[in-house]
Amino acid sequence: MQAALDQARAAARRGEVPVGAVVLDPAGRILARAGNRVEADHDAAAHAEMLALRAAARALGTPRLVGCDLVVTLEPCAMCAAAAGLFRIRRVVFGAYDPKGGGVEHGARVYAAPGAQHRPEVVGGVREGESAALLKDFFAALR
């Protein structure tokens, strides 16, 4: 989670919403890391999770990340949760819960849907306070 938090802080310094993600291989080594790049890339889908998942797949030379874990500072939205399922992520670990935009424990609850083809293990609330504080401080500074 520390590496994901570092990516979130870097995203905030770039003026992006501070969300960071890493993909770990089955041995726990970091395959890819990313922070949000929505503003920089002019791409509404350039969420940290999407960028890290794609980079990890390129690094392994495969479209499936079987046995790999996604660690992210904020509960993934429905798009990112669905992508993690398509990549066949073993476990999704996230920091802050997102009652408004989350797609795992809130909102769409992607993995609970009857049509979900893959249901990774989910661990929420890891370093939740630190992850939430990054977001709160970022948005407070904008007001």
Tokens 């889908």 belong to residue: 45
| Cβ neighbours for 90, distance < 8 A, ≥ 6 positions apart | 26, 66, 67, 68, 69, 120, 121
Catalytic residue, chosen from 49, 105, 121, 130, is 49
130 is a catalytic site residue: no
Residue numbers in the chain where pLDDT is lower than 50 = none
pLDDT tens by residue, 21-45: 999 999 999 999 999 999 999 999 9
Instruction: List C-alpha distances in Å: 34 to 18, 19, 68, 100, 119.
Output: 11, 9, 16, 23, 23
pTM: 0.97
pLDDT tens by residue, 84-97: 999 999 999 999 99
